[in-house]
Structures are given as C-alpha cells and as structure tokens.
Structure 1
Amino acid sequence: MSVVDESSWSLAFAVLGGLLLFWTCLLVTLWFARPDELRLRDALRLLPDVVRLVRRLAGDSSLPRGVRLRLGILLAYLAMPIDLVPDFIPVIGYADDAVVVVVVLRSVVRRAGVAALERHWPGTPAGFAAVCRVAGLGDGGERSGRA
C-alpha cells in the first residue's frame, strides 16, 4: 500500500468519525431539548397546516427565488424517508424535522416578513400564533392584528 492510499483511508476514517461524532452530539442535544409531551402533541396537531403553509409559500411567485428554493428543499427533506434522526426513535425522531422547519421559517420571515406567512396560513389565528411562538417569531397574531 502506498503513502497516498494510507493517507486517503486515514482522511476518510477521520471524516466518517467526525460525522458520527456530530450526529451523536445532535442526537444528545435533541434529546435534552425535546419538548414536553403536551407541547409535542400541540405541535403535531399543527403539522398538516404547517405543511400546507410551506407548500403555499413555495408556490408564491411574489417571494424571492431563494426563499422559494429553500422551501422546496424543505418539502423534499420532509418527504424523504431518510432523516438525520430516524423517526422510529421516540420523541426526538420527529424533532430533527421540527428543527429544520423552524430554521427555514425563520429564514423566510427574515426575507419575506411575517405577513407572507400570515397570508398563506391555512389554519386558525390561534394556530398561526402558536407557529410563530414555536419558531421564535413572537406572537404573530399581535403583529398583524389577528386574534
């Protein structure tokens, strides 16, 4: 075996080990940051409305192309059967999906504003306010006059 082959294998194992360590840290972080049972149930109730929201936002040609692209990638990620954390792991199995949705929604709000989310929200005003709180956007109902 030549020196190049040995260093290539060493690099491959180092990268693999780093990815495994990162995934383990993510798993531990999600476990400790997992929502309590009540909040998880409430969040799961909002899931169909959030998926419709993302789909509607992705199809809105008035939004910047980069925002629509991120939303399209989010929809593809949510539809993929392979996740960072497998869904069969109790509680945190769906937490990685929730974290990705929150990050993308925050990004959308930074570029398009809360009004874009509100314009496309298919659910109740209380559900919209809950999504805004979960995503760390404050109470969206207060910003826009919805109750």
Structure 2
Amino acid sequence: MPAAAGIPGRRAEPHTGAYIPGRVDAGRPGPVEEDGVRDWLIGLGVAVACLLASWALLVLLARRLPPGILRDLAAFIPDCLTTVRRLRADPRVPRKAKIAIVVAGIWLASPIDLIPEFLPIIGPLDDIVVVALALRYAGRQVPREVLLAAWPGEPRLLLRLLGPAEAAAPPA
C-alpha cells in the first residue's frame, strides 16, 4: 500500500473507527476528553450537594418560624402533598376526586409552571390556586371528616380553603 501523504509507515485507508496503531485519530478518548467528563461529573455532584444543602437549610428555617401566617404558608405545600398521598390511597374517596387530587399533586411536583417559581411572592401562586381548586372539588365529593383526617396541618386552614359546609338539602 502507498504511504499516506508522504508519511512513512502510515496506511492510506478510510476511517473505520477501529484502532490502528500509529493513527492519531484512532477513535479512543484521549486524556483531555476523560478529564472533561470527570470535571463535568464533579461539577454536577457539587451542584446537587449545594441544592440538597439549601433545601435542608430552608426546612430548618421553616421549622423555626414562630406560629402564625408565615409558618402556615411555609407548611402549606408540604401539607398539600401529604394530603394528596393520603387521599389517593383512601377507599372512601371517589374516582373523580382522586383524579383531581392526583393532577394537583403532579402539578405541585412538576417543575413546569404558569408562573416561574423564582418570582418573589407570586411564584408559587399557580401551585396554590390549582391545589385549592382541586381540594374544593374534592371537598364537594368527599366527606369533610375524611379530608380533615388526611390533612396534617392546622384544620382551620383546610376549613378556610374548603369554604362553608354546604347544608344538606331538606328532604322533599
């Protein structure tokens, strides 16, 4: 075979991706590529560790809040997720109410929102509205005792969210 481009000992053949001794572009990752992947993984690990540490700090600070509206607001979303989990497993909850509750839970857990979460004050507003609507719908389908048993937070918050109890219609 003829020498490739005047380089002695190098064969002129099409690149097949196989390793050929003496070839510069043999298809194997070099030290620069391996370092790049390793650096990327280290950076990802540091980012995940920082995220988990910030969540832990927020949980710690939320638990130290004095009783009042701020503490209630900090606990609202976790209380809603716990309620969704409990109602989903309760056999006394009708299927339509379970679907509404599960959709609200998925909405809460989803990173996709109508209003981005990083906007102060109004960021979690769409989450709260969706959960409130789903719980009000479930409140019309499920006995209040079941909802109150599933709610881990202050019962007054749930009762305020559900609105006044509908009086039973007089028998006709």
**Partner residue in 2 for 1:87:** 117
Cα distance change on mapping 1:136 and 1:59 into 2, 3 Å: closer
**CA–CA distance in structure 1, aligned partners of residues 98 and 162 of structure 2:** 21
Q: 1:100 to 1:40 in 2, by over 3 A?
A: farther
Q: Give the whole-Å Cα distance in 2 for the aligned partners of 1:58 and 1:93.
A: 26
Please report how far the alpha carbon of residue 138 of structure 1 lies from its aligned counterpart in structure 2 after TM superposition: 4.5
Mapping of residues 54-133 of structure 1, within 5 Å: 54-123=84-153, 127-133=154-160
Larger-gyration structure (1/2) = 2
Question: What are the superposed Cα offsets for residues 73-96 of structure 1, whole Å, 9 maximum, x if unpaired?
Answer: 111111110101010111000011
For 2:157 and 2:162, the matched residues in 1 are separated by 10
Q: How far off its partner does 1:47 sit? A: 2.7
**How many pairs were matched up?**
98
Is the 2:77–2:128 Cα contact (8 Å) retained in structure 1?
Answer: no
What is the percentage of aligned positions where both structures have the same residue? 37
Tell me the equivalent position of 1:137: 163
Q: Could you say which structure has the higher strand fraction?
A: 2
Distance in 1 separating the partners of 2:127 and 2:148: 21
Give the match's secondary structure for 1:86: coil
Unaligned runs of 5+ residues in structure 2 are: 1-67, 166-172
Distance 1:52 1:68 in 2: 14
CA contact (8 A) 2:135 2:162 kept: no
Structure 1: state its 5+ residue gaps: 1-37, 140-147
Distance (whole Å) between structure 1 residues aligned to residue 147 and residue 95 of structure 2: 16
* Segments of 4+ moved more than 6 angstroms: none
Q: Which has more helix, going by share of residues?
A: 1
| Whole-Å separation in 2 of the counterparts to 1:84 and 1:110 | 26
**Deviation string, structure 1 residues 105-137 (Cα, Å, up to 9, x no partner):** 1001111131121122223xxx1112321x142
